[in-house]
Amino acid sequence: MAACIFCKIIKGDIPSFKLFENDKVFAFLDIQPLSKGHALVIPKYHGAKLTDIPDDSLVDILHVLKKIAVATGAENYNVLQNNGRLAHQEVDHVHFHLIPKPNEKEGLGIGWPAQKLEMDELKKLFEEVKAKM
């Protein structure tokens, strides 16, 4: 955690353009934005993946994401959160991107390589996941 860039930002060791802070959440502008208003919202609790973060922090994060979305005035935007290297996570501290999408050229570009599952495969998967919840 001592080496975590986001923990350093929270502590003030690295400067940021802070948009919001309370006892559980910290939000700031991304210094390499995909569009104007691109912000990061992070829990103050250090955890690498979403499943590591206490539920009460996650609730607060959603409220802050909404506040920033309203404040940017963005009619269209993405909320992105990655878990693990294969899912494109580069910083091992949970973080949510709020990325305004003002036009086709700015903001997040995304591909959606959808798969087709047969209904029996989908039903089996549903039963497996549901049983674990």
List, by residue number, the catalytic residues: 95
Cα 64 to Cα 21, 39, 42, 89, 114, distances in angstroms: 9, 11, 10, 21, 30
Query: Which residue reads 């591909």 in tokens?
Result: 111
And the tokens for 8? 């350093």
